[in-house]
Copies of this chain bind each other. A is one copy, B any other.
Amino acid sequence: MTSPGAAPATSTVSSSDESATIHSLNGTPTPRHVLRISDLDDATWRHVIDSAVIYKKAGMASKPIATGKSLGLVFLNPSLRTRTSMELAAQRLGAHVTTLTPGQDAWTIAFGDGVVMDGAEAEHVRDAFGVLSRYVDALGVRVFASGTDRERDVADAMINEIAASATVPVVNLESARNHPCQALADAAVLSDHFDGKTAGKRFVLTWTHHPNALPMAVPNSALLAAARLGMDVIVARPDSHSLEADVMNEATDLAGAHGGSVSTSTNMDAAIDGADVVYAKAWGGPMRYTDPEREKAIRASLTDWRVTRKQMSTTRNGRFMHCLPVRRNVVVDDAVLDGPQAMHLDQAEYRLHAQQALLEYVFDC
C-alpha cells in the first residue's frame, strides 16, 4: 500500500529496447516490480534460486516474516499451479491474500492511454491497479498475450501498463512475453538437480506440436533462465516457429556472460541426442499474427514434434521438463511423463518455493 496522492507512474515502452520499460514521473520511486528475470540483478537472482532450494529441502514449515503484509492476485487468464502456489507461498509467509479474476468475479479491464470507454470494458487498467495498490503491499498479475497484436505482445504492453498503474510492486505471473516465476522455478530445479553445476550442461528447448497457437512467454523464460545459468542451449524448432529475434539476442548475451551458449536447430532428434535436459514447449510461430490460418495448417502437419521415450534414451540420462499444463501424447508421450527421467512435478513444486523466496524480496522482508 502506498500513501494516497502518489501520482501513477507512466509507462514508456519500446519494443526494440525492452530494458527501458518503466519510468516514473515526478520523482516517485519505481516499485520493486518483477516483470522479467532481468529485473533481478545477479545477486538477487542467485539468492532467490538458492533460497528456493533450501526451502525445498526443509519441507513445508511456515516462516511468518511477512505478517501483516498483504498480496493481491489478479488473474486475467486461468491458472492452477500459479494461483495455488502464490496463495500458499504468501500464507506461509504470514501474509493476507486476496484473489480476483476480472471478467468473472471482477470487472473487465480496458487497456491503452486515452481510450474512450464506451465498449464492453468497465474499468481502466490505471484505476483498477491504482486502487489495488491502496489495498495491498504487492500484486501478482497474469495477463496472457493477445495473440493478435504482435507489436503490443512483443512490447509486453499489458503487463507494462499494469505495472505503470501500480504504486506497489507487481510480480508478473505470466504476461505476453515473460514468465519470471516459471523461470525462477526452472532455474531452481536445474540448480538442485545439477548441484549448482549448470554451466556447460546441454539444455534443449524443443518446440512441439499442439492443437492451439500458444504464447511465447514460457519458451522465452526457459531460454533466458537456462542462458543465465550458463548452460549450452539449443532451441529446436521448425523454420516456421522461431522465437523473437530480440529474445534470442538477449539469451545469447546472457549465456555469453555466464559461460554458456545459444544455438538453433531445426532437427529435433539431433538436438536431443546427448542432451542433459529436454524442455518441451509448444508455441505459435510469428506467422500467427500475419497469417493465422497458415500457421495453423503448418502446425497441424508437425505432429512428429512430440517427445518420445526413444528420443529420451539418446540423451545423457537427461531430464524431461515441461511447465504444465501438458497435452499428453500430443506434446510428449505418457511413457516419458510417467518415467524416471521426468522432472515436471519437481518444476511445479519449485514454483511454491521460488515464489516464497521471491515474495520475501518483493515485500523487502
Contact = CB atoms under 8 A, between A and B. Distances in A.
Which of A80, A104, A352 has the most CB atoms of chain B within a 10 A radius of its CB? A80
A83 B70 contact: no
A1 B345 CA distance: 12
A328 B123 CA distance: 8
A101 B1 CA distance: 27
A359 to B, nearest CB: 14
Contact of A62 (B68, B91, B126, B132): B68
Interface string A119-136: 100111011101110111
Given A116-B330, A135-B84, A325 B123 contact: yes
Interface residues on A, range: 35 or more
B132 A84 contact: yes
A45 to B, nearest CB: 23
Interface in A128-171: 128, 130-132, 134-137
Contacts of A65: none
Contacts of A330: 116-118
Contacts of A83: 98, 100, 105-106
B334 A114 contact: yes
A270 interface: no
A337 interface: yes
Interface in A39-79: 56, 59-62, 67-68, 70, 72, 75, 78-79
A135 to B, nearest CB: 5
Contacts of A198: none
A127 B324 contact: yes
Which of A88, A114, A119 has the most CB atoms of chain B within a 10 A radius of its CB? A88
Interface in A318-348: 324-330, 334, 337-338, 344-346, 348
Given A8-B338, A88-B136, A329-B116, A131 B345 contact: yes
A247 B334 CA distance: 35
B100 A326 contact: no
Contacts of A102: 80
Which of A1, A126, A134, A349 has the most CB atoms of chain B within a 10 A radius of its CB? A134
A166 B108 CA distance: 31
A103 to B, nearest CB: 9
B328 A131 contact: no
Contacts of A78: 104-107, 122
A81 interface: yes
27 contacts: A60-B70, A62-B67, A78-B104, A80-B100, A80-B106, A80-B123, A83-B98, A85-B135, A88-B98, A104-B105, A107-B325, A116-B330, A117-B327, A118-B330, A119-B211, A122-B327, A124-B325, A124-B326, A124-B328, A126-B337, A126-B338, A127-B328, A130-B345, A130-B348, A131-B345, A134-B348, A134-B349
Kindly list the 3 A-B residue pairs having the minimum CB-CB distance in the complex, ordered from nearest: A123-B325, A134-B349, A117-B327
Interface of A: 1, 4-5, 8, 56, 59-62, 67-68, 70, 72, 75, 78-81, 83-85, 87-88, 91-92, 96, 98, 100-102, 104-107, 110, 113-119, 122-124, 126-128, 130-132, 134-137, 211, 324-330, 334, 337-338, 344-346, 348-349, 352
Given A1-B60, A80-B100, A80-B123, 5 more contacts: A60-B137, A84-B135, A114-B329, A124-B325, A134-B348
